[in-house]
Chains A and B, each alone.
Chain A
């Protein structure tokens, strides 16, 4: 915000011990719009009309679903360079129940063609993302997973942690990417491909990498049909490529309580042990 005078930061009353610094340092370019996500997007669009570059922040489920028509109309139709930032992904908020399980956020956004989608899975990528977003000035959704990540440090849109063999590739993003890396620690033959930018995908580059492997597993904490599995299947068909591709991820909402995301990762078989079993089957 110091170097970009047009950045405006907005929150829908979320981000305790996080957003205060923005408010204190840049009071003229900070807004807490209250618990009003429709207004969060509406005001962002008004600020974009005024030439500002709004970054609008709240929890992913509220940021996407509560104001979906505002995202479609105000951001999508107007092609405004608004960055919607949703924190928490998948089962980050595990015990809070299904309203807070974020398994259908970016798949919903994917239905709106204009909006780019990111899920930074390393600090290195996240740190460069704001500058990139400012530079390219496009409508964007950033899905922000919680936790300390061991993803290979890279500013590339996807990064490969190669295994010792070219048999199986685990393709993932966000929190489940850490499960894949944990699986790789137990079985060094596995390769892991972590995707930082979910749309647009670098189609040719990704297909070239995938072609090195006999079997591909897509592992995600999001409904696969509208998630990465769906995106990869689409580009495979588009480029007339045939791969053996499998999907691991949630298929439905659940009322079951789990105290941490481990519980749901095991339930939907996206934990490191289940991934290893699937890879060995």
Chain B
């Protein structure tokens, strides 16, 4: 297990977390746990870094009542969520290393058994409603500096409950609420455009009355800037983050099957090489 950073060292939002480190941690978790969902985990790395990097992670770690809430609605990117939380110092290395193993609390979908996870998800279209409830609650409690950030998949938004939540958030002008869409173009078994073509997504959300931005979902700075710009505006917002499913692992990029497969010894080595070489080419 790669433990580039000490678990005891508290990270704050000002500390930079490297997507390559997070991806290597995810690969370790998936490989050791013989777990699936590689594609969806890799596409959301920068989004998760930007989300945790936009709030006070101390509050999340300590569970303070006025903390900002991060609700991972696409619960199957649990490995990416936990890896990101680990690199932000919210959860320790010894916990991360138990992912997807007997007796662990780290299942293949995010669980509130893990300190710092607001809500257990895994059934799609659930987290966003809870996130909206948190936004109402934060406002009602007078915690006006806190945000609710929620991460959804572009396949997930086919669930009707997503639009129930968005309609309500718009009606109540919940300006402390920002939903981020992992627009990787692939849902469970095929391309989202083949199942239900919702392009351009931005118009769909704008039509519902949301503030909308479209960003490169693999650019942490761009996502963070959008969160900063949109939070505290006149109403709720959606950031469409254009991503590549399996990002960083070349043999898995853009491929639906890596929603299901787990890594063999050879492919694990190849995936690590791919992530590291991607790091060199972009640095």
Given contacts A38-B164, A42-B165, A73-B126, A78 and B132 within 8 Å (CB-CB): no
Q: Are B123 and A69 in contact (CB under 8 A)?
A: yes
Q: Are B140 and A42 in contact (CB under 8 A)?
A: no
B101-139: which residues lie under 8 A (CB-CB) from chain A? 112, 118-123, 125-126, 128-138
Contact of A74 among B65, B126, B167 (CB under 8 A): B126
Q: Are A42 and B137 in contact (CB under 8 A)?
A: no
Q: Which single residue of chain B is at the shortest CB-CB distance from A29?
A: B140
Q: Shortest distance in angstroms between B49's beta carbon and chain A's nearest beta carbon?
A: 23
Contacts of B164 in A (CB 8 A): 33-34, 36, 38-39, 42
Contact of B119 among A34, A44, A69, A78 (CB under 8 A): A78
**Chain A contact residues: helix, strand, loop or mixed:** helix
Q: Shortest distance in angstroms between A83's beta carbon and chain B's nearest beta carbon?
A: 15
Q: Please encode chain B, from 135 to 173, with 1 for each CB lying within 8 Å of some chain A CB and 0 for all others.
A: 111101100000000000000000011001101100100
Q: Which single residue of chain B is at the shortest CB-CB distance from A45?
A: B130
Q: Are B141 and A33 in contact (CB under 8 A)?
A: no
Q: Are A42 and B65 in contact (CB under 8 A)?
A: no
Q: How many residues of B contact A (CB 8 A)?
A: 31
Contacts of A70 in B (CB 8 A): 126, 129, 161
A199-246: which residues lie under 8 A (CB-CB) from chain B? none
Given contacts A33-B168, A69-B126, A44 and B120 within 8 Å (CB-CB): no
Answer whether residue A50 sits at the interface, using C-beta atoms and an 8 A cutoff: yes
Q: Shortest distance in angstroms between B175's beta carbon and chain A's nearest beta carbon?
A: 16
**Chain B contact residues: helix, strand, loop or mixed:** helix
Q: Are A46 and B131 in contact (CB under 8 A)?
A: yes
Q: Are B129 and A50 in contact (CB under 8 A)?
A: no
Q: How far is the CA of A153 from the CA of B213 in the complex (A)?
A: 60
Q: Are A74 and B130 in contact (CB under 8 A)?
A: yes
Q: Are A50 and B134 in contact (CB under 8 A)?
A: yes
Q: How far is the CA of A34 from the CA of B161 in the complex (A)?
A: 12
A9-58: which residues lie under 8 A (CB-CB) from chain B? 28-29, 31, 33-34, 36, 38-39, 41-52
Given contacts A39-B161, A73-B123, A78-B119, A46 and B130 within 8 Å (CB-CB): yes
Q: Shortest distance in angstroms between A146's beta carbon and chain B's nearest beta carbon?
A: 28
Q: Are A46 and B132 in contact (CB under 8 A)?
A: yes
Other than the given A49-B119, A74-B119, 14 more pairs (CB < 8 A) read A8-B140, A29-B140, A36-B168, A38-B129, A39-B168, A42-B133, A42-B161, A43-B132, A43-B165, A47-B133, A47-B137, A50-B133, A50-B138, A70-B126
Sample of 8 A–B contacts (CB below 8 Å): A8-B140, A28-B140, A42-B164, A43-B129, A43-B165, A46-B136, A50-B137, A78-B119
Q: B residues within 8 Å of A by Cβ?
A: 65, 69, 112, 118-123, 125-126, 128-138, 140-141, 160-161, 164-165, 167-168, 171
Q: A residues within 8 Å of B by Cβ?
A: 8, 28-29, 31, 33-34, 36, 38-39, 41-52, 69-70, 73-74, 77-78
